[in-house]
Amino acid sequence: MKPFDYASSASPPEAVAAVAGNPAAAFLAGGTNLVDHMKLGIAAPEQLVDISQLPLNTIDTTDNGGLRLGATVPNSDLAAHPLVRQRYPVLSQALLSGASGQLRNAATTGGNLLQRTRCVYFQDVTTPCNKRSPGSGCSALEGYTRYHAILGASMDCVAVHPSDMAVAMAALNARVEILGPSGERSVGLHSFHRLPGDQPQRDTVLDHGELITAVVLPPLPEGTRSAYRKVRDRASYAFALVSVAAVVRLEEPTDADDGGDSASPPRIAEVRLALGGVAHKPWRATFAEEALRGQPATEGKFRRAIDAELQHAVPLADNAFKVPMVRNTVVSVLRELCGLEGGLDQGGSQASDGNGEQRGGRTGTPASGGEDRP
Amino acid sequence: MSVQLPAATGLDLERVDGRAKVLGLAPYAYEHPAEHPTYLHAVQSTIARGRITAIDTAAAETMDGVVAVLTHLNAPRLANTEDNELAVLQSDAVGFRGQFVAAVVADSPETAREAAAHVHVQYHREPHHAALRADHEDLYKPETVNAGFDTDTSTGDPDAALASAAVVVDRTYTTPAEHNNPMEPHTTVAQWDGERLLVFDSTQAVHNARKTLAPLFDVEVEQIRVVAPHVGGGFGSKGLPHAHVVLTALAAKVTGGRPVKYALTRQQMFFLAGYRTPTIQRLQLGASPDGRISVLTHDVVEQTSAIKEFAEQTATISRMMYAADHRRTTHRLASLDVPIPSWMRAPGECPGSFGLEVAMDELAEACGIDPIELRVRNEPTIDPETGKPFASRHLLACLREGARRFGWERRNPQPGTRLVDGWRTGIGVAASTYPARRQPANTARIRFTADGFYEVQIGAVDLGTGAWTALTQIAAEALECGPEQVRLQIGDTDLPAATVAGGSTGTASWGSAIIGAAQMFRKEHGGFPAAGDTSEGDGEKNPASKNYALHSFGAQFAEVQVHADTGEIRVSRMLGVYSAGRIINPRTARSQFLGGMTMGIGMALHEQSVMDERFGMIVNHDLAEYHVPANADIRQLEAFWLEEVDEHAGPLGARGIGEIGIVGAAAAVANAAYNATGIRVRDLPLTADKFLA
């Protein structure tokens, strides 16, 4: 590891000034990603400015009923916060599905967003990588791509963003508050991370010296339900193969929908879907959302909607499975959130053991899963 | 002795080293106090095959705190360079990517690592081959396979028998390269004092380590002392000294007597500490309609490194497991420009049982009979390979006891019929076996101390298995004293010679020597010894191995859940029943069995070292990318054993338990996954994508 200077800072503006004034300086919070990269030779800052002691570690209610999450709140505290669990279960579930207990204790809100994208070639300095060494080539493109992107990638980079938290935040329309040398600004989370294009070395829109101070979650309308589902190769402590964050609000069918037939499914008043493990950034499935909005909540609609998104997928040699995996996972999550019977395409009798865990938390008025069945 | 004390073996004794480990006081190799130490970090080749044309060490050499930079141009010469793995920094040749090409010794590990990054190596690159393929052009037949087994065997006329068999299963199964990944990385601390070398090493065999090192450094074995009181796992990867041990001892020649400390990084362990070869196994089973096997062939293609041969004995399990009049087993090697494969828990039986035991499941289905009944019908009366009787063969008892405990009767032979909360659920079985070997060349010494203890000395190693405890119990029983009266000393070449903690041979081999020493002690000194009374005893070669086939057996049962939407696969339940002779300590034995089964679940679901052929490199070379089971992957695990004493296994009646727990485990999981889904996966690991609808 290259020797480096370490400095703590007394206030956010002081930290920003310290990093902005030194092109080789970096902020240090939990260090769970940066320190690894320093050991591996991927990052070699000359100065670390420690922001972990700055007063950015609170979770506050905003005037309009949302939440403002401080940049240095540990991931475990954020996941456990009663208001997060009550109002934004998708976020709590996403956080708890990430990393390990020890890492979540150290990792912070801002740091989680700023994880570098993940790729075995990026992690090994003996192989070419456009992200690490612009212009050197992408080793993954024709290499080992099981965990790589199927959406939004470029010929220069096919890595995926590893965060679970950010996927949930994308579905929640979160905004990132940023303090820079020239003042404050705010960026929608969906625009915060970049697609690789021809500049894969840039993961986010942050300029050097800019500091995330908070993430703001807007309030969700009464009756909105949300859930996060992560599919991975082992039961815990693994990055997502694919993940889905879904936020749904249903409304009762109008008479026009069912012609007085009370068995008609509810309609999807509002839906937001974000996908993890598929792209260089948390991927808002806007085509799918568009296809679902105002539609009856049926499995066929879910399937057609996600197919509208996945028709843009470009799988690589090892990850064609992600297309059906995303499709099935999205349908599964929507089925649960919309209270549809967990039916299957083929085979099998229905569950009899009856010890299934309750998924798909919700906000506002209780609307039990069973009541909305078609 | 007239007083009959309770037998100490079989006692559920807590680990005698447990307290020291929990308190952090049990020193592992890196933690032994070293005066004014230096630290090594290695530079690895970035090509898979070729020659070094230039090395620029100037930047590294001028860094503050750097003691030395070693390359093949300036490193001390080794006296023997026959072993290409161990001949480190002796030539400009590169045989695989990740091989040592230079090393930095510095005052701190951070400096050594940073300086190593500033050593610049230029190469003449030659074309390389790094991927195993069944149709590899230059497959060759090794002279023997690991542990000295015959490369090929053939009885009867297998091809004719296959042509005439009523039912034939003819399938190819593959297992990927897998890496051992013990918790404690491979670590060596070496210090020269004139012509004497002191080594603290994370090894499974202190005596073998020094025997390997002595000729390289042109010294007598007595001039080398290797110490390893505690080892944090090895699974075979610390059974043979690897290149880092030689590199560290070599570097210690240029530090003016200062100790050199080197722990491989986790990433380096994927290149330099051995691994299990990938295997391609074609199984052909020919049977009558009622499932009686007439012919069994098992043809294996696997890899070795071009610079050093290692030939896994993958098909040997098919020589003794089931009766068949016609049989063929073969091993062919692809010689590749890859790191050197070596021992990984149950070499041979572990990968071989995946092919054989999944093929048995396929045969059971083809014949329409229960998989356990199929094994009953093909139980041999004598060892098919040697014609000798089995000293002890309780496979059927293990299967029946396991079936009863596991609830096998609830299995629906029709796959894909049980759905529990969105998870397709099924159960499967596989048989397990492992040879019972006892190593000669073990000696133990017993001395009665002035304060009334029996000091029991043997240069054995406890790599985390419980040897400290089991050997204490064996000594206590043989001396007819309480375990608390025994002071065991192991893990040091200053102690009498002992063989490797490997091949499930440790306890039986060392234990025999301890029993021999105890008998000699009583013979020479009686029941009331004086302080300083000392006797030695040797472990004898097992005479029963002349007349009997000695193997342990087991039955593995697994319940598997595969998510109907996502294909995610979990092992919800696993149960093993083993017949391994006498169990010395039920607590540590249970741990060994469960550990083997856990590693078997890892093999079944997770483990896969991914070779990027272009670079000749395992690319998922850390524990974030190379998955082993996490706690959440291991749910209900149970291990049972038959109460038995194997009268042919020597004075202990024990056969060894370190490896049988992994054998057959992956097959049981794969068979259960088939029962759950109707999808037959023949290529490990069983990942979600293979079950996606």
| pLDDT at residue number A359 | 32
Residues of B in contact with A236 (CB under 8 A): 630-633
State CA B15 to chain mean position distance: 22
Which of B562, B606, B566, B569 is CA-nearest to residue B692? B566
Report CB contact under 8 Å: B620, A144.
yes
A253-257, B207-211, B543-547 — which one is most confidently predicted on average?
B207-211
Report CB contact under 8 Å: A237, B632.
yes
Reported as a single tens digit per residue, the pLDDT across A117-176 is 999 999 999 999 999 999 999 999 999 999 999 999 999 999 999 999 999 999 999 999
The Cβ of residue B196 has, within 10 Å, a number of other Cβ atoms equal to 12
| B255 close to B112: Cβ distance less than 8 angstroms | no
Q: For the CA atoms of A16, A21, A23, A29, what is the dihedral angle to 10 degrees?
A: -30
Sign for the CA dihedral angle at B568, B637, A357, A234 comes to negative
Residues of B in contact with A3 (CB under 8 A): 110, 114
Is pLDDT at A52 greater than 70 in this prediction?
Answer: yes
In this structure, the answer to whether residues A211 and A240 fall within a common structural domain is no
Residue A48 falls inside a structural domain: no
Residues of A in contact with B565 (CB under 8 A): 328-329, 331-332, 344
Report CB contact under 8 Å: B633, A234.
yes
The model's confidence at residue B541, banded by pLDDT at 50, 70 and 90, is confident
Helices (H), B383-453: 395-406
The SS3 assignment for A7 reads strand
Residue A156 falls inside a structural domain: yes
Residue A308 falls inside a structural domain: yes
Q: Which residue of chain B comes nearest to A331, CA vs CA?
A: B565
Residues of A in contact with B419 (CB under 8 A): 344, 347-351
User: Tell me, what CATH number does A279's domain have?
Assistant: 3.30.390.50
Residue A85 falls inside a structural domain: yes
User: Tell me, what CATH number does A154's domain have?
Assistant: 3.30.465.10
User: Which residue matches tokens 């601390």?
Assistant: B189
The model's confidence at residue B8, banded by pLDDT at 50, 70 and 90, is confident
Phi first, then psi, for residue A186 (nearest 5°) are -135, 135
Token pair of B331 as six digits: 């091993």
| pLDDT at residue number B208 | 98
Residues of B in contact with A235 (CB under 8 A): 570, 630, 632-633
- Residues A217, A242: Cα–Cα separation, whole Å: 23
Report CB contact under 8 Å: B630, A2.
no
For residue A119, give Cα distances in angstroms to A100, A135, B667.
Answer: 19, 17, 31
| B190 close to B197: Cβ distance less than 8 angstroms | yes
Is pLDDT at B689 greater than 70 in this prediction?
Answer: yes
- Residues B458, B510: Cα–Cα separation, whole Å: 8
| pLDDT at residue number A364 | 33
- Residues A6, A26: Cα–Cα separation, whole Å: 10
Residues of B in contact with A332 (CB under 8 A): 422, 565-566
In this structure, the answer to whether residues A207 and A279 fall within a common structural domain is no
| B415 close to B677: Cβ distance less than 8 angstroms | yes
Nearest by CB to A349, from B419, B568, B619: name it. B419
Token pair of B179 as six digits: 């890496």
Which of B602, B589, B554 is CA-nearest to residue B276? B602
| A115 close to A149: Cβ distance less than 8 angstroms | no
Report CB contact under 8 Å: B114, A2.
yes
Residue A269 falls inside a structural domain: yes
Q: Which residue of chain B comes nearest to A162, CA vs CA?
A: B624
Listed range (A190-194, B10-14, B104-108) with the worst mean pLDDT: B10-14
Nearest by CB to B566, from A3, A325, A355: name it. A325
The model's confidence at residue A253, banded by pLDDT at 50, 70 and 90, is confident
**Is B222 among the catalytic positions?**
no
Q: Which residue of chain A comes nearest to B421, CA vs CA?
A: A351
In this structure, the answer to whether residues A107 and A246 fall within a common structural domain is no
| pLDDT at residue number A363 | 32
Say which DSSP state A350 is in: P
Q: Which residue of chain A comes nearest to B120, CA vs CA?
A: A126
Q: Is the peptide bond before B685 cis (omega within 30 degrees of 0)?
A: yes
- Residues B479, B501: Cα–Cα separation, whole Å: 23
Which of A68, A64, A99 is CA-nearest to residue A84? A68
CA atoms within 13 A on the CB side of B454: 32
Which is it for strands A183-188 and A175-180: parallel, antiparallel or unpaired? antiparallel
Q: Which residue of chain A comes nearest to B564, CA vs CA?
A: A344
Nearest by CB to A350, from B117, B419, B693: name it. B419
Residue A7 falls inside a structural domain: no
In this structure, the answer to whether residues A177 and A299 fall within a common structural domain is no
Q: Which residue of chain B comes nearest to A359, CA vs CA?
A: B421
Nearest by CB to A231, from B418, B627, B688: name it. B688
Q: For the CA atoms of A234, A235, A240, A244, what is the dihedral angle to 10 degrees?
A: 140
State CA B33 to chain mean position distance: 29
Reported as a single tens digit per residue, the pLDDT across B330-388 is 999 999 999 999 999 999 999 999 999 999 999 999 999 999 999 999 999 999 999 99
| pLDDT at residue number A261 | 57
Taking CA A323 as the corner, what is the angle to CA A321 and CA A327, rounded to the nearest 5 degrees? Answer: 120
User: Which secondary-structure segment (H or E) carries B375?
Assistant: helix B371-377
How far is A146 from chain B, CA to nearest CA, in Å? 10
Reported as a single tens digit per residue, the pLDDT across B561-580 is 999 999 999 999 999 999 99
- Residues B613, A371: Cα–Cα separation, whole Å: 55
**Domains in chain B, start-ordered, CATH in brackets?**
18-27+439-541 (3.30.365.10), 32-127+183-233+239-272 (3.30.365.10), 144-178+276-436+547-691 (3.30.365.10)
| pLDDT at residue number A2 | 82
Residue A303 falls inside a structural domain: yes
Is pLDDT at A343 greater than 80 in this prediction?
Answer: no
| pLDDT at residue number A283 | 98
DSSP string, B167-180: EEEEEEEEE--B--
How far is A347 from chain B, CA to nearest CA, in Å? 7
Reported as a single tens digit per residue, the pLDDT across B231-276 is 999 999 999 999 999 999 999 999 999 999 999 999 999 999 999 9
Residues of B in contact with A346 (CB under 8 A): 693
Say which DSSP state B242 is in: -
Nearest by CB to A143, from B267, B419, B614: name it. B614
Domain count, chain A: 2
Residues near A289 by Cβ (< 8 Å), separated by ≥ 6? Answer: A271, A272, A273, A305
In this structure, the answer to whether residues A231 and A276 fall within a common structural domain is yes
- Residues B433, B156: Cα–Cα separation, whole Å: 24
Q: Which residue of chain B comes nearest to A242, CA vs CA?
A: B566
Token pair of B7 as six digits: 């037998």
- Residues A49, A25: Cα–Cα separation, whole Å: 7
Residues near B435 by Cβ (< 8 Å), separated by ≥ 6? Answer: B349, B503, B504, B550, B551, B552
In this structure, the answer to whether residues A131 and A207 fall within a common structural domain is yes
A-B contacts at Cβ under 8 angstroms: 124
Token pair of B646 as six digits: 């194997």
Report CB contact under 8 Å: B630, A236.
yes
The Cβ of residue B65 has, within 10 Å, a number of other Cβ atoms equal to 16
Reported as a single tens digit per residue, the pLDDT across B636-648 is 999 999 998 888 9
Is pLDDT at A346 greater than 50 in this prediction?
Answer: no
Report CB contact under 8 Å: B625, A345.
no
Report CB contact under 8 Å: B630, A232.
no
pLDDT over 70 percentage in chain B: 99
Q: Which of B612, B628, B679 to mutate to test the interface with A (most CBs of A within 10 A)?
A: B612
| pLDDT at residue number A255 | 63
Q: Which of A234, A275, A322 to mutate to test the interface with B (most CBs of B within 10 A)?
A: A234
pLDDT over 90 percentage in chain B: 95
Interface pTM (ipTM) of the complex?
A: 0.95
The model's confidence at residue A367, banded by pLDDT at 50, 70 and 90, is very low
Reported as a single tens digit per residue, the pLDDT across B124-177 is 999 999 999 999 989 999 999 999 999 999 999 999 999 999 999 999 999 999
In this structure, the answer to whether residues A233 and A198 fall within a common structural domain is no
Which domain does A293 fall in, by range?
Answer: 225-254+263-343
How high is the mean pLDDT of chain B? 96
Reported as a single tens digit per residue, the pLDDT across A198-225 is 999 999 999 999 999 999 999 999 999 9
Reported as a single tens digit per residue, the pLDDT across B457-495 is 999 999 999 999 999 999 999 999 999 999 999 999 999
User: Which residue matches tokens 């010395």?
Assistant: B584
Residues near B372 by Cβ (< 8 Å), separated by ≥ 6? Answer: B399, B400, B403, B408, B429
In this structure, the answer to whether residues A230 and A292 fall within a common structural domain is yes
Token pair of B215 as six digits: 């000729």
The SS3 assignment for B603 reads helix
Higher pLDDT, B1 or B519: B519
The model's confidence at residue B7, banded by pLDDT at 50, 70 and 90, is confident
In this structure, the answer to whether residues A167 and A281 fall within a common structural domain is no
In this structure, the answer to whether residues A198 and A286 fall within a common structural domain is no
| B514 close to B478: Cβ distance less than 8 angstroms | yes
In this structure, the answer to whether residues A242 and A193 fall within a common structural domain is no
Is pLDDT at A11 greater than 90 in this prediction?
Answer: yes
Average pLDDT value for residue range B415-438: 96
Token pair of A346 as six digits: 């083929």
Report CB contact under 8 Å: A124, B619.
yes
Residue A248 falls inside a structural domain: yes
What type of residue sits at position A80? A
Say which DSSP state B163 is in: H
Residues near B351 by Cβ (< 8 Å), separated by ≥ 6? Answer: B175, B276, B277, B279, B281, B312, B314
Reported as a single tens digit per residue, the pLDDT across B28-70 is 999 999 999 999 999 999 999 999 999 999 999 999 999 999 9
Nearest by CB to A351, from B421, B621, B689: name it. B421
Residues of B in contact with A345 (CB under 8 A): 693
| B649 close to B508: Cβ distance less than 8 angstroms | yes
Beta bridge partners of A14: none
In this structure, the answer to whether residues A188 and A58 fall within a common structural domain is yes
Report CB contact under 8 Å: B422, A351.
yes
| pLDDT at residue number B2 | 34
Residues of A in contact with B619 (CB under 8 A): 120-121, 124, 143-144
